[in-house]
Amino acid sequence: MARRAGRRPEDGGKGTVSAAPSRKTGPHPVTPDGRYFVVRGCLWRTSNPALSEERRAQLVSYLMSARRAVGAARRSGDNDAERAAREEVDRAKHDLGERGAVWWTDGAPDYNRHLARNTPYADWFAALG
């Protein structure tokens, strides 16, 4: 798999958390500021919205290929190949902005992988029902 370009430009933060209705990404609610989606009460960072749709599609395709490689390596019992494939998954997630340095610039902390109820998003999350 080819290595991708470095980080994308940041578009700036969107401010504080409000009780505004959430957007959805498939079945998952997205926080009002667009930084996270929620799965089983846990916040997961969304992709950097400053990525062009074309670049995002390339990275998602690369990510899915890397995930398939993880599965193939696991099925074959090849630990070295699995480790390499997991590194590719991690690299794609970093390039998408889902891991590593945050893509917003307002200085807000990262709550990736935190329970929503234990973050400033708690009231918004509780209002979802």
**CA 29 – CA 71 distance, rounded (Å):** 28
- Indicate the range of 10-19, 22-31, 67-76, 96-105 predicted with least confidence: 10-19
Residues 106 and 93 in one domain: no
Q: What is the pLDDT of residue 76?
A: 98
Confidence of residue 1 (pLDDT cuts 50, 70, 90): very low
Residues 88 and 57 in one domain: yes
Residues 40 and 78 in one domain: no
Q: In what order do the strands lie in the sheet with 23-25?
A: 23-25, 28-30, 36-39, 42-45
Q: Where are the beta strands (DSSP E) in the chain?
A: 23-25, 28-30, 36-39, 42-45
pTM listed for this prediction: 0.76
Instruction: Decide if 35 contacts 18 (C-beta within 8 A).
Output: no
Question: 15: alpha, beta or left, given left = phi > 0 and alpha = psi -120 to 50?
Answer: left
Identify whether 14 is part of a domain.
Answer: no
pLDDT at 82 over 70: yes
Residue 124: domain span:
25-46+102-129
Identify whether 109 is part of a domain.
Answer: yes
- Count of domains forming the chain: 2
**CA 89 – CA 69 distance, rounded (Å):** 9
CA distances from 63 to 1, 19, 66, 90, 116 (A): 10, 33, 5, 9, 26
Identify whether 5 is part of a domain.
Answer: no
* pLDDT tens per residue, range 88-113: 999 999 999 999 999 999 999 999 99
